[in-house]
Structure 1
């Protein structure tokens, strides 16, 4: 007997959840956000840091939730097909992987953090740049659309994708709460090493996404 979750075999649900979890963990990069959060919140007391971290995580998840359910509507309004979005999204994810491997992504995020400090704290650090684009950036939004296209046909699939996003973003919020401790324990070397390893994983996922888009347009064996 195969146990099922909302009509979906547990084995498939677990595999889909792990796959989505890896994708979100790579593109959001919670560990890499820790030093940026520390830089953004310099000068704030402990209570205000907690508020910024929790509000930023909640806002980032709200953005992911919006694109999970309305992103396809936006694509249809612009007459963009999912195979085309898969190819473009895969190319974007590959570029993010390239930046991670060669330390370009961290430099770009640090520039965003610096701009926020010089522009009157960007009115609200929790929304910009913490929620967007550091948490719910182009990579996370693209991944959400691609994962919902792959798994979101059922309620179970939608729960898997959003659950994976919630776990990663919730984990990011927890890291924000203990950011100073995490920085002391891991150090910059470990954080940068993890980022590069995840970059290799993301590059492979990006290549698979591009191949899926191409085979959707040109199925194998069809002349």
Structure 2
């Protein structure tokens, strides 16, 4: 086991930017208003399980259908690029139907462990040690859980302007990550 603080920190920041749980506070608050109680513990644990399982079997699934990790990482960098564009410009390129409940489906998947997260995990796996990525997942799930539990208080503290600024900052970070992933896997 080779724990590397730099890898853990970098992977944690990448996952934090991709998951964008702080930027999702308005969505979480809207869900809470529509359906009442949100099961923070259940959503966090299920998202963590989804991410760790995909970290291990995602590459096998890709191999089964004949796609290499670099090609998936390039495709993922494009997804991350468009997520960043959404965050920076405040536009919505992808629209999901409104959920009826705030159980596993809208929170654990796709809000926390969505397509961008899965792509990032495989991209990270091509660059970092698996144990460091798992620690980064756990760090992010702890943050996700805290944000889910404290979303109403966080919204009151930051206000709508503070949330908008935070979302744009993480959008720029995510854009830089997308470009780096693309360059690394294309071989520039």
Q: Establish whether TM, by shorter chain, passes 0.5.
A: yes
SS in 2 for 1:142: helix
- Compare CA radii of gyration and give the structure with the larger one: 1
CA distance in 1, matches of 2:137, 2:86: 22
The answer for the alignment partner of 2:46 in structure 1 is 59
CA distance in 1, matches of 2:147, 2:91: 22
Cα shift at 1:143: 0.6
The answer for the alignment partner of 1:192 in structure 2 is 164
1:5-38 deviations in Å (ceiling 9; x for gaps)? x3x4x6xx11111110110110111212222222
Q: Which runs of 5+ in 1 are unaligned?
A: 1-5, 152-156
Cα shift at 1:164: 0.9
Structure 1 contact 30–168 (Cα < 8 Å) conserved: no
Q: Which runs of 5+ in 2 are unaligned?
A: none
Structure with more of its chain in helix, by fraction = 1
The answer for the alignment partner of 2:124 in structure 1 is 147
Matched, 1:127 2:101: no
The answer for the alignment partner of 2:145 in structure 1 is 173
Cα shift at 1:91: 1.2
CA RMSD of aligned residues (A): 1.9
TM-score by length of 1: 0.78
The number of aligned residues is 188
Cα shift at 1:43: 6.1
